Structure 1
Amino acid sequence: MRTPWSRRSLGSAEDRATYETLHTASLAAPALRRGLDEDSAEKAIKHLRTLLGAPSVALTDTERVLATDGPRERRADVMELAREVISAGTTQAFSTPRASYLHAIVAPLTVEDTVVGAVVVSSPTASAGLARATTEVARWVSSQLELAELDKSRTALMEAELRALRAQISPHFVYNSLGAIASFVRTDPERARELLLEFADFTRYSFRRHGEFTTLADELRSIERYLVLEKARFGDRLHVTVQVAPEVLSVTLPFLSIQPLVENAVRHGLERKAGGGNVTVIARDAGNEAVLTIEDDGVGEDPERVRRVLAGDTSTDSVGLGNVDERMRTVYGNAYGIVVETAPGAGTKVTVRVPKYAPGAER
């Protein structure tokens, strides 16, 4: 028999205090994970004051007071104390006879060993316990700000890699597609018009300017357009099989992380094979993950060359293979790099695993 949840189920007073502290910290974290500015400080400050149990708390950057909670101290006085601590880089206690409270404890906020601001706590008394609490809260705030910087760095890296990928893929595909479309202009104008629309939709998706993530459904639609255009060029030499479990269509993954692998299969696997061949794209449900395989029965590749590509060798021309591997590892961790099985004359199979749910991977 189940009993209704209640505060008593949290156990002792110490258990309840721990829960309240963690809950309060979780309320402040989302704002701080966006970085240190007026908006994030205003959203976090009341929760920080609750954590400290202090009459008045302020957050500053290196130039100004960003937010306060409690009796309104003169911001110039608060910033004067903050600057001393920002300069020294250590927690300090002050007597403040001009302020509403007689004492202040100020702790620095640091990101990658650089002081970026301060937590200023005003109180009638300056106990060692309050000083320790202020220092620990400042360290926790600093950790959230460091995570915000990591998020920004990751975003900048992914944007740079995506620009590089577009630059690498575009010329080859654009020239071939336009050539294929041109070949139908006189002999089959309706086919040429349909292919031109497919080309427009494909390029619109590939060069969109918003979002580093997409859904598997959208990525597969782009792949279908790409393959329609390639089949116009290859004719009966290219055979395509696509099998997708409906359960994985909504999975979020890095933008342009599957299409380059399909292009690699066509360009490096089949283009050099007499008589063409087959490309198979399979997306299946694997519990907490979606598993995607792109396989061709083309000319295959030297495994040592593939290892060099995945290690970052830019002298090769495998379209996006290393780029996709790097972006998958950046988003999901090293356990989610792509796996390539190949040998000369034996075709190539690329496997990609994507977690169905991953923090930060949002469309």
Structure 2
Amino acid sequence: MDLSSEIYHALLPAFITVTLGLPVLALGAIDGIAEATASFAKLASGRLSDRSGKRKPWVLLGYGLAALSKPLFPIAQGALELMGARFADRVGKGIRGAPRDAIIADETPPEMRGRAFGLRQALDTVGALIAPIAAVGLMFLFVENIRSVFWIAAIPAALSFLLALSAVKEPTIHRDSDKPQPFFRGFRDLDKATRRLLAVAFLFSLARFSEGFLILRALDVGVSAALSPLALVVFNLGFLALAYPAGSLSDRIAPRSVLMIGIAILILADLTLSQDLGLPGLVLGILLWGAHMAFTQGIFARMIADVAPNHLRATSFGAFYFVSGVGTLLASLAAGLLWDREGASATFLAGAGAAAAALAMLNLLGETRPSPGR
């Protein structure tokens, strides 16, 4: 699914501005509305999964909605049709996220959760790494006919839904009561350890603005517009190379220690990117940015799985994705304003400061250990 979605994502700016002839503002509006809605979908689907005692139906709904959205892109003739397609795609992603991670946590022994989430992150990143290359190849094959490329890119999405339908099994969930609890009660019932971890995740996300700023930094250093997307390839290489090793490390030492390493790497990446070190410094900074993702995203998921009770696991994942999404949105808005007013250096220095605050807060957080039955 990620391979399919990332091909659309890579070509969407050109499709909006060249094929449809819409202003750049349309790209920001379409993506902003879609991503904001996806954050709420993640929050709701996690709670609904726990409330119903089911995981697979929500995973299938998410994959199915995303797969059905793909053919809407090549037939779109204007902003409204495209917004509908993007909305359905992102909501589908939001719906499947929390129940999918809950299945991983439900089916994986606590001592192997780091590796499991590291593998999931690595596979996600493979799709993100291959997609831009595939998009370029398909554009050459179809003589820059983006609509034709979109039709081909819909095939992996359909296959992912069929794979989820046939291969994913419904896990057994131990619930405190057979009677469904009120929707909002699950959020109120999250324990102190989970709430503290969510607070750290939110503060950390304020330091993690959009990867689009890596492309802007590449342009700022002097990389041409045609080559600037390669910044994301470098980013994904750093992410992919370390995602599984970082997850495996969290199975051998305290996950909090691994997460602290990840935040420290982000601080180092921001400090590197804040300086005028030329192309070598740019590549190093972007690689470090990818490395910090490997040491944080899967580790946060593993820690959520450790502290959340079984019957509130998807709710906890949904809350995690929601606070992270909101924090990243706020960080990106603030980074954009700071970039326009003070420049790239101040933006990355501010990111380093926010990451340092998250590191200090994490240092005060007690170690997370799986409770019996989790």
Output the TM-score relative to the length of structure 1. Answer: 0.25
Structure with larger RCO (C-alpha < 8 A, sep 6+): 2
Higher helix proportion (structure 1 or 2): 2
| Structure with the higher strand share, 1 or 2 | 1
TM-score by length of 2: 0.25
Bigger Rg, which one? 1
